[in-house]
Amino acid sequence: MAGKGIIAGLPWWVTWVVVPVILLVVFGGVLATVFGILIGLLFKILIAAALIAGVVYLVRRVTGSSSSSKSDW
């Protein structure tokens, strides 16, 4: 493994502190974009599920009730 040979003689703090920090600085924008997209997608899915559940509830309430209850609308 060429990668292990490069970092084999370095102190532990270079491997476990410096390298991850460098990777976060270099790829931080990409990670933030990916997480932003995933959180936005999850939020939209939750909103869609809530709206669909609301429509199903209203339709069942209106169609399942008697004609006297429909006059409440």
Tens-digit pLDDT profile for residues 7-61: 888 899 998 999 999 999 999 999 999 999 999 999 999 999 999 999 999 999 9
In a domain, 51, yes or no: yes
15, two tokens: 């491997």
What mean pLDDT is predicted for residues 64-72? 59
In a domain, 67, yes or no: no
Cα(54)–Cα(60) distance, integer angstroms: 10
6 SS3 class = helix
Calculate ∠ Cα 41-45-50, nearest 5°: 150
Q: pTM of the prediction?
A: 0.56
Question: Which pLDDT score, from 0 to 100, does residue 18 have?
Answer: 93
Question: Which pLDDT score, from 0 to 100, does residue 42 have?
Answer: 98
In a domain, 13, yes or no: no
DSSP letter for 40, please.
H
Going from the C-alpha of 25 to that of each of 16, 31, 44, the distances in angstroms are 15, 10, 29
| The pLDDT of residue 69 is above 70 | no
In a domain, 54, yes or no: yes
